[in-house]
Amino acid sequence: MTLHQLFHFDAFFWWVFCIGVLEGLRFGRNEVVLRKASLSVAFRVGASEALIFALLGATTSPWVFVGLGALRLLLSRLRDGRLSWRAGVELLLVGAAMTALVVVGDVHTFSQVGARGLSMGGTWRLVILTLVTAACVFAIVPAKISNEAKMTLAAPFVLVAFARVGVPLDAVEPRLAMAAPIIGAVLSALCALWLLSAGMRANHFEPSSLVSELVMCERGVLLSFVWIGLASGERLAGVGAFIEWWAAALALLTLEASLRVRPLPKSMAFFALAMAVGIPGTTGFIAEDLLAHGLLELRPLLAALFVGVAAINAAALYLALTNLIVDAGHEHRHDSPAEGRLTAMMIVPAALTLLIGLVPRPFVATATEAREAVAPHETVDVEHPVGASWDGLPRLPLGDEAFVEQ
């Protein structure tokens, strides 16, 4: 295969590339702030993280995908001085799924997954989907809290693997669309309850440990929402999942950056909360609106669980932030500044989430193109979509004719 055949720079690549850039900026910042590294070292770390994640979104080859995942794991090992067993398990699970895809299904590019999945046999389809689903569970469940700064927040490569393999196979294996969203909803509920417990026990934590636990639990909730949308098999929910992925990246970066500053910038901390829970005017609101509408008609119980978890998440995050701010206030003298200074890692994601939240139409169109890039066989162009929401976004029927107007 030529280089042009191995990498395809479509809408899905650009969506993943932007998330990789945000994650790369976070890794570079952590190198400077936490490890006191030079700017040149921080740039190399951040650029390598962004480049590898972008190539994961661009490659069309299952073998190249696994190789890039292994390279990312190796660089993490060299950077941290140890190998994460969780990341190793995720790579093994995805590698086994890709091997089965190539050997059994004779799939050499991801564009062949949907068509050749039909002739693969139900047992092998379930095996492959089970492996990728297990990898997603490993990636989403909160890991060892002390490793939070070393882990990727919004760019786990298993979500790219699920988008490339799970979404197209979902059309020919409906049992996945029944089971995987339920697993994702249960995971999101567990992470939200864990976050609520951490908020109630805030006085028993060191501030740094509480911040790490808060960020990791919130990461679990938001990435579970992404996975629910991707695995649901619904176009509208799938578009919402892509936007939720962006929303999660922006919210988690802002939340982590603002909570690590002392004195705590209270206004930015609560705006990060607003980003995470998706109040109107933010990217998260657009994403959760699309997810809820996509799940509502055919999966009302799942939609109800999704809304319930979102409510628990909002209450738990507010409780945790309130306790953290109270504890932080006790640590400083009365003559110290009331709030810490804002940084670029807080301001830029916050500005982006407002831009997307207030002008959502072009980003919804791009998210639609990104989903169609990983499931092109599902695309049906309807000239006049049905229904519209309060914000002018199309509200579509949930049958085969659904299409987001671009």
pLDDT of 331 strictly over 60: no
Does residue 148 register a pLDDT over 90? no
* Greater pLDDT, 197 or 67: 67
Domain ranges of the chain: 1-172, 177-406
Half-sphere exposure of 152 (CA within 13 A, CB side): 29
Q: Give Cα separations from 41 to 22, 25, 83 (angstroms).
A: 17, 12, 20
What's the whole-number mean pLDDT along residues 127-133? 91
Q: What pLDDT shows up at residue 398?
A: 38
Which has the closest alpha carbon to 52: 152, 173, 123, 149?
152
Q: Is the pLDDT of residue 166 over 80?
A: yes
CB 369, CB 406: distance < 8 Å? yes
When the pLDDT of each residue in the chain is averaged and rounded to a whole number, the result is 82
What mean pLDDT is predicted for residues 100-125? 86
Integer Cα distance of 221 and 153 in angstroms: 12
Quote the pTM value: 0.86
Averaged pLDDT, 34-58: 90
Question: Token pair of 273, please?
Answer: 């909360």
- 394 has which bridge partners? 388
Report, as an integer, the average pLDDT of 47-76.
93
CA distance 269 to 332: 17
Ranking 66-75, 195-204, 270-279 by mean pLDDT, the lowest is: 195-204
| Per-residue confidence band for 202, with pLDDT thresholds at 50, 70 and 90 | low
